[in-house]
């Protein structure tokens, strides 16, 4: 079983709530398309936000304080239309809907992967994903 096969553990939490109110396929599409298998491209994803002028948002997700929200338009700006279109295709929705879903789940996913306020090395990110799946 691959790391992403059981994303229901990551998408869900105590009491059956889902990340951003979204299901397993939404979370899986975000993780796979934006962070690569096992989340190993997390540092590169965060760098895109810094390069795009939204480093303060990304830092809030990594830091120990409150997560700042990100808009669908900001997601499209940082990730580009190709990445958003790939997620949309996997989910069977429009690119605008996909950008909205990404904006809802991405801050929470990154926050859960960086509970100590720092971006772990790629292997540690993979281990954290495995840990989240077991919750």
Name the residue ranges covered by the structural domains of the chain: 3-133
Residue 43 CA: distances (Å) to CA of 15, 121, 130: 31, 8, 18
**For residue 71, what are the contacts with CB-CB under 8 A and spacing of at least 6?**
103
pLDDT at residue 12, as a whole number:
39
The shares of helix, strand and coil residues in the chain, as percent rounded to the nearest 5, are 70, 0, 25
Per-residue pLDDT of the chain (135 residues), as tens digits, is 333 333 334 333 333 445 555 566 567 667 777 877 666 788 889 999 999 999 999 999 998 889 999 999 999 999 999 999 988 888 889 999 999 989 988 998 899 888 888 887 766 666 666 666 555
What pLDDT shows up at residue 66?
92
Joined together, the tokens standing for residue 114 give: 């960086």
pLDDT of residue 115: 82
Model pTM? 0.74
Which homologous superfamily is 3-133 in?
A: YidB-like (1.10.10.690)
Report the Cα 127 to chain-centroid distance in Å.
16
Pick from 29, 28, 1, 34: which is nearest to 12 by CA? 28
């Amino acid at each position: 079983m691959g790391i992403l096969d059981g994303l229901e553990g990551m998408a869900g939490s105590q009491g059956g709530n889902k990340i951003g109110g979204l299901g397993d396929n939404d979370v899986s599409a975000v993780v796979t398309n934006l962070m690569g298998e096992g989340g190993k491209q997390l540092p590169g994803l965060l760098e895109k936000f810094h390069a795009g002028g939204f480093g303060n948002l990304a830092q809030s997700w990594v830091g120990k304080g409150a997560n700042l929200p990100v808009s669908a338009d900001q997601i499209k700006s940082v990730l580009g239309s190709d990445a958003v279109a790939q997620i949309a295709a996997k989910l069977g929705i429009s690119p605008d809907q996909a950008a909205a879903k990404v904006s809802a789940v991405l801050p929470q996913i990154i926050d859960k992967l960086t509970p100590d306020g720092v971006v772990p090395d790629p292997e540690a990110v993979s281990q954290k994903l495995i840990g989240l799946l077991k919750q």
